[in-house]
Each structure stands twice: as C-alpha cells, then as structure tokens.
Amino acid sequence: MGLKIAGIMLILMMAMSGIGYWYYNDTQEKMRILVANEAKATIAAQTAEAATKALQESYQRMSEELNRVNSQFAEARANNQVLTNKLAKHDLAVLGEKKPDTVQRMINSASAKVLRCFEIESGSKLTEAEKNAKSGKAFNSECPWLWPGPSKP
C-alpha cells in the first residue's frame, strides 16, 4: 500500500509539475504579448502626439497666412479706392469731347503705368528709374504705395 501511495503521489506531482510548466509558459506568452502591445501603444501615442503637434503648427501657419492675405486684400481695396477717387474727379466724356488727343495720351500713359504696377506686383524687377525714385509719386503715380522707399532698393 505504501507503494501505491508513492505512485499516486508521483503521478500527482508530475501532473502538478505539468500544470505548473504549462501555466509558466502561458504566462510568459501573455507577458510577451502585453509587452508588444505596450510598445505598439507607445508608438501610437508618440505618432498621435507628433501628428497633433504638426496639425497645430500647420494651423498656426495657415492663420498667419490668412491674416497676411486679408491684410493685403484690405490694402488692395484701399488702393483701389484711391484710383476710383482719381477717376471720379474728372469727367472724361466731357474732357474727351473738348480735347480728345490729350485724353487719349492721358489714358494711354495711365494704362501703361497701371500695367507696370501689375508687373511689379507679379515680381518683376524694378528699373533703374524706379530704384532711384525719390517719392512714391515719382516711382509710379498710379501705384505709389508700391514704392519701396529710399532704404529698400
């Protein structure tokens, strides 16, 4: 009977050892999975943080650009009003009947100056006369606001 008990005890110990070995291996596998998941979560969090920062910087740049464009648009409207006021001072139809050659020269000259304003706004380099202009009106009477001034050639 002692041998039977010893045999049963041996079988129980082997079964318990097998269960322990299985439990240890299963736990280690779960730990490897959890560590891998934690690494993925950390990478995902870092990626999300970087994306958020990039979006914030992009939004900031976009806001600055929008403010700059709105400012330029307001300036263009003000400059347009200056030109409108110039034209409103003169009745070109009446003047054209009395002095057609003078009106034609005046319109052609003003048109050429306005076209030059568009060229300058589009990035065309300044001529020597424009660089050496002493005032905005001497620079271009149709768009004196484009004059870079004496310190900005």
- The enclosing H or E element of 138 equals helix 136-139
| pLDDT band per the 50, 70, 90 thresholds, residue 153 | very low
CA-based angle 125:128:133, to the nearest 5? 105
Q: How far from 54 is each of 22, 50, 57, 136, CA to CA, in Å?
A: 48, 6, 5, 42
Q: What is the pLDDT of residues 69-93, one digit of tens each?
A: 999 889 888 878 877 887 777 777 7
Which residue, among 71, 76, 88, 85, has the nearest Cα to 146 in the 3D structure? 76
Q: What is the pLDDT of residues 111-143, one digit of tens each?
A: 898 889 889 888 889 998 888 888 888 898 888
CB atoms within 10 A of CB 140: 20
Q: Is the full-model pTM beyond 0.85?
A: no
Write the DSSP string, 20-75: HHHHHHHHHHHHHHHHHHHHHHHHHHHHHHHHHHHHHHHHHHHHHHHHHHHHHHHH
Which residue, among 19, 42, 39, has the nearest Cα to 31 in the 3D structure? 39
Distance CA 104, CA 28 (A): 94
Q: What is the pLDDT of residues 24-79, one digit of tens each?
A: 999 999 999 999 999 999 999 999 999 999 999 999 999 999 999 999 889 888 87
Q: Span 6-19, mean pLDDT?
A: 91
